[in-house]
Amino acid sequence: MSDVVRGLVVKIFADGAEVAQIDELAANPLVSGFTTNPTLMRAAGIDDYATFVKLLTTQITDRPISFEVISDDFDEMERQALYLHGFGDNVYVKIPITDTSAVSAAPLMARLAAAGVSVNATAIMTLDQVRVAAQALGGGPPAVISVFAGRIADAGVDPVPVMRAAKQIVAEHENLELLWASPREVLNVVQADEVGCDIITMTPDLLRKLPSLGRDLGEFSLATVQMFRDDAVAARYDL
Domain boundaries, the chain: 3-234
Reported as a single tens digit per residue, the pLDDT across 190-205 is 999 999 999 999 999 9
Q: What is the pTM of this model?
A: 0.94
* Candidate list 54, 94, 167, 209, residue with the active-site label: 94
First-residue to last-residue Cα distance in the chain: 41
**For the chain, what percent of residues have pLDDT higher than 70?**
99
- pLDDT on residue 5: 79
User: Is residue 2 over pLDDT 80?
Assistant: no
> Please, where are the H alpha helices in the chain?
3-6, 19-25, 38-43, 49-59, 74-85, 106-114, 127-137, 149-154, 159-170, 187-195, 204-209, 217-234
Reported as a single tens digit per residue, the pLDDT across 211-230 is 899 999 999 999 999 999 99
6 confidence band (pLDDT: 50, 70, 90): confident
- pLDDT on residue 84: 98
- pLDDT on residue 181: 98
Asked if 54 is an active-site residue, the reply is: no
Q: Which CATH superfamily is domain 3-234 in?
A: Aldolase class I (3.20.20.70)
